[in-house]
Chain A
Amino acid sequence: MENKNVFIAIALSMSVLLFWSAFVDTPQPIDGQSSKASSSSKKNKITNSGIVPSIDGSTVKKNISRKDSLKKTNRILLENEKIKGSISLEGATIDDLSFKNYKVDIESNDIVQFLNPIESKNGYFIESGWASIGNRIKVPTNKSIWRAIGNNVLSVNNPVILEWNNGSNLIFRQKIEIDDNYLFKINQEVKNNSSEQVELYPYAQLTRKNIPEDLKGFYILHEGFIAVLDDELKEDDYDDIVEKKIEREADKGWIGITDKYWMTALIPETGEKFKSTFLYQDAYKANFLLNNPKVVAPSSKANNEIKIFVAAKEVQTIDAYAEKENIEKLDLIIDWGWFYFFTKPLFFAVDYLFKMTGNFGIAIVLITIMIRLVFFPLASYSFKSMAKMKALQPEMARLKDLHKDDKVKLQQAIMALYKKEQINPASGCLPVLIQIPFFFAIYKMLFISLEMRHQPFFGWIKDLSASDPTTIFNLFGLLPFTPPSFLIIGVWPILMGLTMFIQQKLNPAPTDPIQAKIFMFFPIFLTVILASFPSGLVVYWTVNNILTIAQQWFIMKRTTVKTN
């Protein structure tokens, strides 16, 4: 164990050294000789080591408070209906952004601060710029001090123009616009006043110092790096990227980082081939770099447009962007999962009910009832034949005993019995299998839904996306102490366990004694597991159990009367 740690430490220090020499040290000199080399080897140079986005790799180790670091640089303020924050004139980075409509938690009035300056603890920011082969051209870095021309408050329909002069006849400009939701459009421009032609590669980069504090790390939800490249969805976890840098070439698409409820995405100019890179280099970084440079002849200009999303994952908003801005598969940033085609319509149904009733919990109850209704005939049919079969169990046991050694005979005898008793064969397994996707869909939908966040239900449930806060271990709040978190088992999970137990009792008990015992523990086990899940999910599960019990009980009762 000890040895292993040493080994990891060595490997880490090695990689730091390597990163240092590759990115931070001095710009790699590419002399005239090598640039005259054959075009294919030149190409290799470009992709392998020649150009990297000109990130000034200096690591910011200090952690100062968000407030202090905001004060340190001059800023352009920005605000619209949904977001507010500022852009640092040092580096022209978007590094201060909050979602106005989302609170940190139900009690506080603080809004969610998503992007943070580089020097603050959870630094998370976006920069865009130009790179050159071998960093030969002096381009803006994250230390460059930009100057606002004219308007210096960014709002809808009031773009801001920033300018930076590299001191050797290149003038860089950024025209930054925001819309009324979550979209930034940055039009970057280079004006070449020199007498030489320059080639510059546009790029944009997300940098995030730490993984989010509320990372779920749960397998049904992807959190981390994400991209759609040439129509293909790519998802990489944070630890994958720490292990290995991932580079991909694409003709079109977008890249980003997705959280459970929030996201950032970078979209290169349409029609441009680009390379997407996910890496860890003192911080998590996702960037794209265009494959082909903008060639700027003396005394002319070149432009490049970059779209940047910093958004709360509201389904309608994201869908509207995917369509309006023609960004392929941007909607996949909401992790609908394999049963996409079920999950999404289901979400719209719940959302509709939510808007109608005004309560997300009631919407969940209603959708559960509706799904039950859809499957009502199927379930009825199967409960009916199950009830009949239960009545025949003694006879079945007799037959089993009679044909102990001959399976085929036994099967024939059972079939004959069915015929004699005029039992329709049971509903079969396909009807059950069909229900599985529905179950997954509703489960996933409730798990990922931003719309459920901070939505109350009745009584003590103030947030359906959080677990039930009550616990049986202090008698649901009667005793004045708070047990440790793993002992928080609330009212709803216990209701779920009870209903599940009752439902089990309606089915014939398994004959094997060990099996029977395991089944006794099943509801308890699930109660404990579900206790830490969003209470909206537990409400769904409980209501579903109750409906199943009601239907099954009613049908069984009727059937027994008939056979008597």
Chain B
Amino acid sequence: MLSNIIVFLILSFIKFYNFFISPLLGVRCRFLPTCSEYCSMSLEKHGLLRGVAYSLKRIIRCHPIKILGGASGIDLVPVKNYKPKELD
């Protein structure tokens, strides 16, 4: 119940971000789907805990410095019931 509310709040925040903040920052996505799409999808698919974990994992890879884990390209939300380990 509580986790549903939190998921809903995060999703609303992402919508707010998409509408008001994202255009201010300009096109800067290295990944497709974009980080915001990825976060909402993973939250919808996997719920709060796993969704947030996947989202954070995505965001910390969203930069050009390869040795610090930077990556790019198509990167889909893992299918349900995958263990996070198998992500890599």
Assess whether A415 is in contact with B64, with CB atoms less than 8 Å apart: no
Whole-angstrom distance between the Cβ of A307 and the nearest chain B Cβ: 44
| Contact residues in B for A507 (Cβ distance below 8 Å) | 23-26
| Contact residues in B for A415 (Cβ distance below 8 Å) | 32, 73-74
Whole-angstrom distance between the Cβ of B82 and the nearest chain A Cβ: 18
| Contact residues in B for A433 (Cβ distance below 8 Å) | 59
| Interface 1/0 per residue, B13-46 and A, CB below 8 Å | 0000001100111111111110100000000000
User: In this assembly, does A389 line the interface, its C-beta being within 8 Å of a C-beta of chain B?
Assistant: yes
Looking at chain B, what size class is its interface with the partner chain?
20 to 34
Chain A interface, >50% SS class = helix
Which residue of the partner chain, among A412, A428, A522, contacts B62 with CB atoms under 8 Å?
A428
Give Cα distance in the complex from A95 to B78, angstroms. Answer: 67
Chain B interface, >50% SS class = loop
Whole-angstrom distance between the Cβ of B66 and the nearest chain A Cβ: 11
Residue of B nearest to A388 (CB): B27
User: In this assembly, does B12 line the interface, its C-beta being within 8 Å of a C-beta of chain A?
Assistant: no
Assess whether A508 is in contact with B19, with CB atoms less than 8 Å apart: no
| Contact residues in A for B84 (Cβ distance below 8 Å) | none
Number of interface residues of A (CB under 8 A): 31
Assess whether A426 is in contact with B74, with CB atoms less than 8 Å apart: no
| Contact residues in B for A443 (Cβ distance below 8 Å) | none
Assess whether B32 is in contact with A411, with CB atoms less than 8 Å apart: yes
Whole-angstrom distance between the Cβ of B27 and the nearest chain A Cβ: 5
Assess whether B73 is in contact with A428, with CB atoms less than 8 Å apart: no
| Contact residues in A for B9 (Cβ distance below 8 Å) | none
Residue of A nearest to B73 (CB): A415
Give Cα distance in the complex from A431 to B23, angstroms. Answer: 16
| Interface 1/0 per residue, B44-67 and A, CB below 8 Å | 000000000000000111111000
| Contact residues in A for B73 (Cβ distance below 8 Å) | 415, 425
| Contact residues in A for B35 (Cβ distance below 8 Å) | 428-429
| Contact residues in A for B28 (Cβ distance below 8 Å) | 382, 385-386, 426-429, 432
| Interface 1/0 per residue, A506-521 and B, CB below 8 Å | 0111100001001100
Assess whether A432 is in contact with B25, with CB atoms less than 8 Å apart: yes
Assess whether B27 is in contact with A386, with CB atoms less than 8 Å apart: yes
User: In this assembly, does B4 line the interface, its C-beta being within 8 Å of a C-beta of chain A?
Assistant: no
Assess whether B20 is in contact with A508, with CB atoms less than 8 Å apart: no
Which residue of the partner chain, among B20, B26, B70, contacts A386 with CB atoms under 8 Å?
B26
Which residue of the partner chain, among A390, A426, A504, contacts B29 with CB atoms under 8 Å?
A426
Which residue of the partner chain, among B20, B24, B62, B74, contacts A430 with CB atoms under 8 Å?
B62
Assess whether A428 is in contact with B63, with CB atoms less than 8 Å apart: yes
Whole-angstrom distance between the Cβ of A403 and the nearest chain B Cβ: 12
Chain A to chain B: the 3 pairs with minimum beta-carbon distance, closest first: A428-B62, A425-B72, A425-B30
Known A-B contacts: A428-B28, A429-B35, A515-B19. Give 10 more (CB < 8 A): A382-B26, A415-B73, A426-B29, A426-B30, A428-B70, A429-B28, A429-B59, A430-B61, A509-B23, A518-B20
Q: Which B residues are within 8 Å of any A CB, using their own CB?
A: 19-20, 23-33, 35, 59-64, 70, 72-74, 76
User: Can you list 11 pairs linking A and B with CB atoms under 8 Å apart?
Assistant: A386-B26, A407-B33, A411-B74, A415-B73, A424-B64, A427-B28, A428-B31, A428-B72, A507-B23, A515-B23, A522-B24
